[in-house]
Every structure is written in C-alpha cells, then in structure tokens.
Structure 1
Amino acid sequence: MPTIQQWLNEYGESRQDTTNKTIHWICVPAIFFAIVGFLYSIKLPFVITGHRINVAMIAFVFMIIYYFLLSKTLWVGMFLFGTICLLISHFIELKFLMPLWAFSLLIFVAAWIGQFYGHKIEGKKPSFMKDLHFLLIGPAWLMSFIYQRLGIKI
C-alpha cells in the first residue's frame, strides 16, 4: 500500500489551480458530510445506550482504522471531522425541515457539480477515476494542509 505522502502527492497533482483548490476546500468536506448523512439515514436494528445504530457509525469505525493505518497522526483530525459530521447529521435529522437523506442528496449533487467544474478549470480528470481510494484521500489531503499550518507532522 502506498504511504500517506504518496497518496497526498498524487492527489495534489490534479489540484494545482487556485480556483480548483478553493472549490475543493468547499466541495470535498461537503461530499464527505453528504455521504455521512446518507449512511446515517440507514438505520440498523441495534440500540446501544439508547441510540439506534446506523450505517454511518459502522463505516466511521472502518474509516478511522483506514486513516490510522495510513498515518499515526492524521487519523486524529479525520476522527474529529468525522465526529462533527455525525453530530451534524444527528441534529439535522432531529430538527431540520427536510429528511437528512434529501438534504444530503442536495449537498452531494451540488458539491459534485462544483468538483467537476473545478477539474474542468484545471484541465485534469478527478483522481477517483483512476483509483477509488482517492475518495478517502481527498479529505485527508485537506486535513494535511491544516496539520501543516499547525506544525503537526502527518
């Protein structure tokens, strides 16, 4: 398996244009959140400490293991971001005017339109068309910039 730095470098190759990078800072977290929202909407027949388990919770565990295997530090940031997405999904499900899955669908479609527009500007195809791993690397790529700014090694 490639190292986290190899994944990040390859992901960054098709994100050199400033506009495309800006679009990614908006759309990648939005897509991540939308996927969490979709998965959160799928309830499982299990209850733990009064909370009904959903597919997002199960996927979250595997996602964190994946990021931990890639980076012994970057997984912490992804854990925090993933937890925030789970919490927002919970509150939207409780208090929002539309179902979480519908809200997630709107965000998902809008964010992918933005992504493809950014890649049109860049003149390069999205990385996930080469390897689906890049769907998980995108959020880590952004997190790596936050880590760099904070002086934390990935």
Structure 2
Amino acid sequence: MEPSPVQYASGVRRRQIDVLLSRYAESHLHPVNEIIHCICVPAIVFALLALVWSAHPLAAAAAVMTSLIYYFFLAPRLALGMLLMASLMLALLPLLPAGRIWQIALLVFVLAWIGQFIGHHIEGKKPSFFDDLRFLLVGPLFVLGLLYRRCGWTY
C-alpha cells in the first residue's frame, strides 16, 4: 500500500511523508542541531516508552502499535524501521531495575529535552512542534530518514 500523494498548487505531487519531513527539516539545518537530534530524539522515544511501560507493559506495546499504524500510512518502509527500533527499546526495558524505570525514564526525558532546546538555540529556530503537534511524531521519522539516506535506502 503506497501512501497517498498530496497535490500542490504548483501541480507537483508529493507524498505526505515528504512534505512533513521537508517542513521538519527547515528547523534542523545546523549540523550540530542535527547531531543533537540524532541522539536526543531516540532518547525521548525510549524515555516515553519506559514511562508508559512503568504504568503497564501492555500500555507501552499499545502505544507502539498506535504510532506504527500512523507511520505505516505515511511510509511503510520507515514504519518497519520504527518497528525494529521500538522492539529493541521494549526489549531493553525489562533489563532496567523494575522499581526505578520511571525515575530513569524521567531523567532521560528531561535531559534529552534540554539537549533538544540547546540544539534549537544553536539553530536559531523554534522546535517544529510549536507550529504543529504532529511533528512530535515526525521527529523519530526524521532521524530514521537520515539513517536511511546515509545507507542509500529509500522510503
């Protein structure tokens, strides 16, 4: 199933994922900000999964499945990469001390967001999600898309 294209006034047809990643990239052009995002975005995803996991592991699995459905409609190949990444993260969670998962997750979450805001300060632009909350879900795809492009993979 191919994602549906978006029609623009110029007549150029682009997939929704390409539009979203292009808009996201507008505030992630500085190489230092890009590196920070490549570290902090996965850390935030891990922290969020860990926080939800600490409430109940099935809730974390449900959160992953819900996001994967959205990702699948945007770009099936990126969704597969996200499935692999989320699976690895979920597999790591039982290895953490059970009673401290939420504390570790909260610390990682706060530190990673501090990193994100430092990156945006360096960039000189506000985070994309200030304009559109969807970009909170697009951030992980942006980082994964960078990896795919470096490996020569299409999505």
Shorter-normalised TM range: 0.7 to 0.9
Q: Does 1:10 align with 2:23?
A: yes
Deviation at 1:149, TM superposition (A): 2.0
Gapped runs of 5+ residues in structure 1?
44-52
Deviation at 1:93, TM superposition (A): 4.1
Gapped runs of 5+ residues in structure 2?
1-5, 7-14
Is the CA contact (8 Å cut-off) linking 1:74 and 1:143 kept in structure 2?
A: yes
Deviation at 1:150, TM superposition (A): 2.1
Deviation at 1:87, TM superposition (A): 1.0
Q: Where in structure 2 are the equivalents of 1:129-148 lying within 5 Å?
A: 129-148=130-149
The 4+ residue runs of structure 1 with deviation greater than 6 A are none
Distance in 2 of aligned mates of 1:17 and 1:5: 20
| TM-score calculated relative to the size of structure 1 | 0.87
Count of residue correspondences: 142
CA RMSD of aligned residues (A): 1.4
Q: 1:22 aligns with which of 26, 35, 44?
A: 35
Q: Where in structure 2 are the equivalents of 1:108-147 lying within 5 Å?
A: 108-147=109-148
Distance in 2 of aligned mates of 1:12 and 1:120: 15
| TM-score calculated relative to the size of structure 2 | 0.87
Distance in 2 of aligned mates of 1:116 and 1:140: 19
Q: Does 1:75 align with 2:79?
A: yes
Q: Residue 76 of structure 2: SS of its match in structure 1?
A: coil
Distance in 1 of aligned mates of 2:36 and 2:82: 20
Is the CA contact (8 Å cut-off) linking 1:41 and 1:54 kept in structure 2?
A: no
